[in-house]
Structure 1
Amino acid sequence: YEEERGKIIFVDTPGIVGKAKDYLSKRINEKTLQILNEQVDLVIYMVDQTRKRDFEESKVLGLVRKINKPKILVINKVDDPGKSFLPQYKFLEDEFKDVFQISAINKTHVKPLLDKIFEYLPEKNINSEELPPDLVYPILNIDSKIFISELIREKIFLMMGEEIPYTTTVIVDQILERKNGTTYIKARILTTNDRYKRMLIGTEGRKIKEIGSYARKEIALAINKKVFLDLNIEIDSHWQEMYY
């Protein structure tokens, strides 16, 4: 975001896995906490008041509490006419100095939020080349494969519900920069049995196409390049043994 007052670089953290049962889930949570503590100036904790507060939200809140940075609580979708769980988040107002209730889609109260963000941010004269690589191009560093695998797993969580993600992992085999400027990524979703594989593929392959499409678009946005994501599903009933 850029205007006459300056530029704000928003960093959307990779998915926080509430029940971190495997190595990749634990590693991405650790990496997120490290980035937030070392490389950002301000933390914006955004909650969705149309969603019931659950274990995963509590896990994210626990992580936010460990960060020694200024923090703003943002409660989103306040103009949604559907069911509201706002009372479940009201107690958080005692933990944050600044609280904003907004509608991101309708831009309600977004300007006061931006004003407050500019108040907190220090003045810096930097360009993108001077920024830490995790903030500029998250996948183009030593943890690139972990970043991509967790991003794909996040899409599986969002599209498949609670049961399947804990029986799957994602292995990124290749990341190649092609001469035409496209980033080629070859990845495999590993799951434990044929029933889960069929569910992940979906009718006429629609589900795996949707997962791949959403993941590809987010990766492309993160690295500001065109991305070709070659995503396949394999059965490996012993994949979890790799991480224990």
Structure 2
Amino acid sequence: MQPPLFSCGHVTFVGAPNAGKSTLLNRLLDHKLSIVTPKPQTTRKKITGIYHDDRSQIIILDTPGIMDPKQSLHESMLEITRRSLRESDVIVALIPFQKGDEPIDRKFASELIEQWVKPTGKPFVIALNKADLVPEETAKEAQTEIISKYKPVATLALSALTGGNIPELVELLRPLLPFDEPIWPDDILSTEPERFFVGEIIREKIFLQYGREIPYSTEVVIDEFKEQHENNPSRKELIRCSVIVERNSQKQIIVGQKGAAIKKLGQAARKEIEELLDRPVYLEIFVKVRPDWRKKKNLLKSYGY
């Protein structure tokens, strides 16, 4: 009997900020890889997650949300998304359901498909996320409308939050990928280095702890990442990082009265970093002011944009 053919290829998740791309990636991998917060534009860089099963390896590119760019940072984020779309074999366009009179944002859906997805010439699937927010009948009607209007290879309603129809998405994607050997060993979940995820964890805690514009005005740079010495495994790993802000007033908010806020940030981040690395760490956080860093292309480049 012939063994089943193995599929391996790249799939890009694309959609608006807060469409649920990162939640979907984490659900597929059954592992928290992408940071997730209730605030839009949490994802700023491409995150590569690798889904494995006995018939396929799906290399998923989670991208920054598509929005109207207001500064150089946004332009750089959109360029990351464009590049990811070019690299992919298949595109999953995520369109979330919403409560109210209109089950989906039709204007944005049209812009997403016509301006971003179709021009690539790649096969695409439309995933209607947050299906747990609407009745089943509404979801079916939206699917019919989407198929008729945009002619995707397939469409399905799913819920990244609850896990509804996630296996069905894998079944849809598998035959669209090239028949090929796996690229990565099956114990690897991402191609990003540990220090990248350490920075992302700190950034997530900033999004969760601080209000208003503070999270959007900050960037996290890992300055030093010293791994434990083999001869002394009990020694804590040293991680020094800088939280970049644009104004001195923002620095004062990050630090807080008598350093209380930055201490709370460090405690929350360290706990999750230790879970990620599975070893104890000594975390030092400094705050640096770089005026208008989001508008300066040379600084953006040095921060990996």
Which one has a bigger Cα radius of gyration?
A: 2
CA contact (8 A) 1:14 1:151 kept: no
Q: What TM-score does the superposition give when structure 2 sets the normalisation length?
A: 0.53
> What residue number does 1:71 align with?
124
CA contact (8 A) 1:79 1:103 kept: yes
Counterpart selection for 1:37 from 83, 86, 109: 86
Distance 1:207 1:138 in 2: 27
SS for the counterpart of 1:11 is strand
> What residue number does 1:232 align with?
286
Q: What TM-score does the superposition give when structure 1 sets the normalisation length?
A: 0.62
Distance 1:14 1:25 in 2: 12
SS for the counterpart of 1:47 is strand
> What residue number does 2:94 align with?
46
Counterpart selection for 1:168 from 218, 225, 230: 218
Gaps of 5+ in 2: 1-50, 299-305
Change (3 A) 1:242 1:112: closer
> What residue number does 1:13 align with?
62
Aligned length: 227
- Between the aligned residues of both structures, percent identity stands at 21
Distance 2:164 2:172 in 1: 15
SS for the counterpart of 2:131 is coil
Distance 1:25 1:77 in 2: 25
Task: Say what the alpha-carbon RMSD is for the aligned residues.
Answer: 4.8
Distance 1:28 1:211 in 2: 27
Distance 2:121 2:212 in 1: 32
Distance 1:47 1:76 in 2: 6
Gaps of 5+ in 1: 130-134
